[in-house]
Amino acid sequence: MWPPIGVPMGTLADGMLRHQRIQAHAALNRLWESGLMSKRQAYLWLQAKLGLPEAETHIGKFSAYRCEQVIQLCSNLFPAAHNAA
């Protein structure tokens, strides 16, 4: 939800896509929760990596393919932890 106006930021998703979006958010959150970068920097990094404008860089708008890209890009920054999982 977009708090100021109560409008959802993303698109409707079935169970599988919803799960992928949750995983993509978790992967992206790890970048700033680990201290590697700020939350803003993480979204700017993702925007640059995906070649998307800021208005389109919202996981709630992403397809399953795009979610997989996010997970892979973020995992590449934490290779040891990714390989251990």
Tens of pLDDT along 38-83?
999 999 999 999 999 998 999 999 999 999 999 999 999 886 554 4
Give the Cα separation of 84 and 73 in Å (integer): 17
- Indicate the pTM of the whole model: 0.80
**Residue 10 gets which letter from DSSP?**
S
Q: Going by C-beta distance under 8 Å and a sequence separation of 6 or more, which residues neighbour residue 74?
A: 27, 28, 30, 31
Pick 11 or 53 by higher pLDDT. 53
